[in-house]
Amino acid sequence: MRDQKIAFIDLSSGAVKTETIPEKTRRLFLGGRGLDIHLLYDSLSPGVDPMGPDNVLTVSAGLLGGTIAPSSGRCHLGAKSPLTGFLGSTNMGGFFAPELRFAGFDHLVIRGAAREPSYLWIRDGEIQVRNAGHLWGRDTFETPAMIRQELGDEDIKVACIGQAGENLVRYACVLTGLKNAGGRTGMGCVMGSKQLKAIAVRGTGGLPIAHPQEAVEYLRNFMELIKDNAVMKAFSVLGTPMFQDDSDLIGRVRNRNFQRNQVPDGRGLYAESMQKYSISMAACFGCPVHCRHRYVVPEGPGKGSYMEGPEWSTLGALAAEVDCRRIEAVLSGNYLVNKYGIDSLEFGSMLAWAIELYEKGIIDTGTTGGMDLSWGDENMVYQMVKKTALREGFGAILAEGPLRAIEVLGEDTRYYNVHVKGMSCMHTDERATPAMALGIATSTRGADHLRSRPGVDANLLPRDVKDRLFGFRSSDIGSYEGSAKTIWWHELIYAIVDSLGTCKFQPLFMSPSILGWEDYARLTYVITGLEMSSADMVDIAERVYTLERLFNTREGAGRQDDILPERYFREATPLGLGGFKGATIDREKYDVMLDEYYETHGWDVNGEPKPETLSRLGLAKAPAGKA
C-alpha cells in the first residue's frame, strides 16, 4: 500500500503541512467517514462555534477510493454542524474523491478562515490557496467552469458551494458535478464561513493494487453479480425515483408535511413519469449500475438547461411534502436547489412545515412578507428556493433550519416541525415501521435514512433469509422486538461502506445477494494488502460509530435527543395498506426498544458509551480528547 497522506490546511495563515497516515490508524478507522471522525474528535474542542474559524472541515476519500473496487467514488465531509450543533457528516458521489487520491492526498483537514474569498488548487502533491473574489456570487454550475477555464484544464474536478453556502444557509450543501451533493448537516455553510468557495483537484498519479490478479478475479465476479441483480437492473433504468412507487402505494411517504402518508392522485410522481424526459443514465466513478437520469429541464426556471437527477429524496422533498403532483415541477426544482447549493431534503421539509403553519393560521402574510404559502403551488416553491438561498424575506427564517426557525416563529410551531436533533426528517413516514423509526431517532447526524435504514428489511424478505443474512433473529418490518439489533447491524455495515468510500446501494441495503462483511474484508485485502477478518470489520465499524456518539455526548447530546417528533406518538397514519394505516409509535415500547439499542452498543441508559466498551474498542482516552 502506497504512502497515504493527510494535508492540514490553515486558511487564516495559508500554511499547509502533510502527514503520512500510519498503517495502525488505517487498521483502526480505514478512511473516509471513519478516519474523519478520528480527525474531528482529535481536532475540535467542545463548544466550538460551527461557523467560527476554529471549526475544522474534513474532506476525505475512502480507503478504496479511486481503485477498481465497485463504485469507489464516494467523498465524505465532516465538521461540527451549524444546523444541529452536533456531528456534521455528509457524503457525495461523482469523481472528486478519486481525483483527490490521484493527486496524492486521501484526507484534507481545513481550519481557520480566509481573509478574502478563496479556493484550494490541488495538483499532484501541491496545494495552493488562490483568490476566489471573481467566483464569489457565482452558482455551482458557473464556478467549476470558470475554474477550469482559469487553470486551463477541462479534467479538473471541483467541489464547490453556491450562493446558499456564501449566505450561510445552515443547510447549504457542497456540490461536485451537476448533482452530486454533500447535502446533509450544512457542510456548505461551513465552507462559506471559511470563505472557501471551492476545492479544485487534478491528479495524474496512480493507485497500486496489492494483489492485482486476485483483485481482478474477485472484482469480475462482483461486477457480474451487480449487473445481473434484478434490483440493480431496475435501478439502471429508473434510478432512485423507483422507490416512490411502492412507498406511496403502501403508505410510507410524507404528504402535506406530516398530515398524510400517501399522495392522492400521485402517479405523476412515479418512476415511469421520468422516462419521457430521461435522455440517458449516468454513473459515478467505477459504477456499473448507472442510476442517475440525464435530462433537459422542460419548463420553469432553468428551462432548456442540461441537468442530472433527481434523487428520490429530492422528488419527495419538492413534490410529496409540499403537495406538488407533477414530475416537471420536480425537475425544475432539482435544477434550482443544485444551482444554489441547498439541501433539498432540509428545504422541502422546512417549506412544508411553513405551509402547514400558514394553512392553520399560525403564521400569515405578515410573517411571510406577503407570500401566499399554499399546497401544490409550484411557482411559490421555486421562489422560496431562491429566497432561502439568498436569505431574502421569509427565506431568511427558513434558512436557519428547525431549531432556530422555531425560536423565531414561536413555541406553538414546534409540534408541526418534523426533525430529530435539529435536522429535518426526510420525506418518509416511519410510524408503521418501528426499526426505521428507531434508526432516524438515534442517528449520529440527526434524522437520517442513510445511517441505519434496514433496506432489506423493508423489502419484506422471508424470515429464514433475513436471519441467515444478519446472523441473528432480526425484527419484522412492523415489530418492535428485535429492531434494536437490526438497527445496530445496519449502522455498522454502513459505517464500513462510508469508510471504504464505496456506494451504499451495493451492500445489503439494496439486495440480499450483493456485498456483505466477508466481501468487504476480502476487497480490502486484495486491493490494499491489509489483511482483516469480518470480525475486524465489525470492530472498526463499532469504533467509528461509538466515536461519533462520543462527539455528540461531548457536545451535550443524550437520551433526550434520541427521540422522535411528537407527532409520531400522537397522530395515527390516516391512509395506507394493511398495517400502514392507523399506525403510531407506542411510546412505552419505543423506550424499551431504545434501552435495548443502547445495551446492544454497550452504552448506558443515557446513551453514553460505558468504560468497558471504550476499552474494548481502544477508545479509553477518547473522552479526554484523544482518539
What does the DSSP assignment read for 302-333?
A: TTT-EEE---HHHHIIIIITTT---HHHHHHH
The answer to whether the predicted template modeling score (pTM) of the entire model surpasses 0.75 is yes
**Averaged over 329-356, what is the pLDDT?**
98
β-sheet bridge partners, residue 507: 515
Q: What is the mean pLDDT of residues 228-246?
A: 86
- Residue position matching grid coordinates 461540527: 80
Q: How confident is the model at residue 457 (pLDDT cuts 50, 70, 90)?
A: low
Percentage of the chain exceeding pLDDT 90: 85
213 has pLDDT over 70: yes
d(CA 210, CA 527): 5
* Residue 540 · residue 399 · CB < 8 Å: no
pLDDT of 623 reads 44
The CB density around residue 186, as the number of other CB atoms within 10 Å, is 34
Confidence of residue 232 (pLDDT cuts 50, 70, 90): confident
Number of residues that make up the chain: 627
Q: What are the two backbone dihedrals, phi and then psi, of residue 357, each rounded to the nearest 5 degrees?
A: -60, -40
Q: For residue range 270-311, list pLDDT tens digits in order.
A: 999 999 999 999 999 998 888 999 999 999 999 999 999 999
- State the pLDDT at residue 225: 77
User: CB 46: neighbour CB atoms within 10 A?
Assistant: 11
Measured distance CA(292)–CA(303) in Å, rounded: 19
Query: Tell me: domain 434-624, CATH 1.10.599.10, correct?
Result: yes
**Fold classification of 5-202 (topology level):** Aldehyde Ferredoxin Oxidoreductase;  A, domain 1 (3.60.9)
Q: Annotate 479-496 with DSSP letters as a single string.
A: -STTHHHHHHHHHHHHHH
Task: Name the residue among 45, 568, 514, 41 with its Cα closest to residue 261.
Answer: 568
Domain ranges of the chain: 5-202, 236-424, 434-624
**What pLDDT, on a 0 to 100 scale, did the predictor assign at position 317?**
97
**Which of residues 458 and 52 earns the better pLDDT score?**
52
Mean pLDDT of the chain: 93
Give the strands of the sheet with 174-176, arranged side by side.
126-131, 118-123, 196-202, 157-160, 174-176, 180-182
Query: pLDDT by residue (tens digit) across 537-584?
Result: 999 999 999 999 999 999 999 999 999 999 999 999 999 999 999 999
Q: Which of 70, 33, 15 is nearest to 544 (CA)?
A: 33
Do 5-202 and 236-424 have matching folds?
Answer: no
- Segment 22-26 mean pLDDT: 94
Q: Is the pLDDT of residue 336 over 80?
A: yes
Would the pLDDT of 516 be above 90? Answer: no
Mean pLDDT value of segment 113-141 = 98
> Could you give the percent of the chain with pLDDT greater than 70?
95
Given a cut of 60, whether residue 508 has pLDDT beyond it is no
pLDDT value at residue 512: 54
pLDDT tens sequence across 308-328? 999 999 999 999 999 999 999
pLDDT class for 219, splitting at 50, 70, 90? confident
Using an 8 Å Cβ cutoff, are 175 and 161 in contact?
yes
- Residue range 236-424 forms a domain whose CATH class is mainly alpha
Please list the alpha-helical segments (H only) found in 341-377.
344-359, 365-368
C-beta neighbour count of 134 within 10 angstroms: 11
CA–CA separation, 404 vs 383, rounded Å? 22
pLDDT of residue 622: 56
Q: Mean pLDDT over residues 525-533, rounded? A: 96
Is 474's pLDDT higher than 80? no
